[in-house]
Chain A
Amino acid sequence: MRTVAAILRELFGLFVDDGALAILALLVVAIAALLAVGLHADNRITGAVLVAGSVASLLFSVFKAIRKNGS
Chain B
Amino acid sequence: MTTIWATAAPAVSASFLASLVEMVEAFTIVLVVGTVQGWKPALSGSLAALLLLAILIAVLGPALGHIPLHVLQLVIGVLLLLFGLRWLRKAILRAAGLLALHDEASAFAREDSRLRAAAARDERHLDWIAGLAAFKAVTLEGVEVVFIVIAVGAGRGLVGWATLGAFAAFLLVLAAGLMVRGPLTRVPENALKFVVGIMLSAFGVFWTGEGLSVQWPGNEATIPFLVLLFLVTGLGAAGLLRSKARSAA
Interface contact B241-A66, CB-CB below 8 Å: yes
Interface string of B215-237 (1 = CB under 8 A from A): 11000000000100110011001
Instruction: Describe A's contact surface by its main secondary structure.
Output: helix
Interface string of A19-38 (1 = CB under 8 A from B): 00110011001001100110
Q: What band does the interface of chain B fall in when counting residues whose beta carbon is under 8 Å from A?
A: 35 or more
B residues contacting A by CB (< 8 A) are: 78-79, 81-83, 85-86, 88-90, 92-93, 98, 132, 135-136, 139-140, 143-144, 147, 201, 204-205, 208-209, 212-216, 226, 229-230, 233-234, 237, 241, 244-245, 248
| 10 more CB-based (< 8 A) A-B contacts, given A43-B212, A58-B234, A62-B93 | A14-B144, A18-B86, A22-B82, A43-B213, A43-B214, A50-B208, A50-B212, A57-B85, A59-B237, A62-B92
A residues contacting B by CB (< 8 A) are: 3, 6-7, 10-11, 14-18, 21-22, 25-26, 29, 32-33, 36-37, 43-44, 46-47, 50-51, 54-55, 57-59, 61-63, 65-66, 69, 71
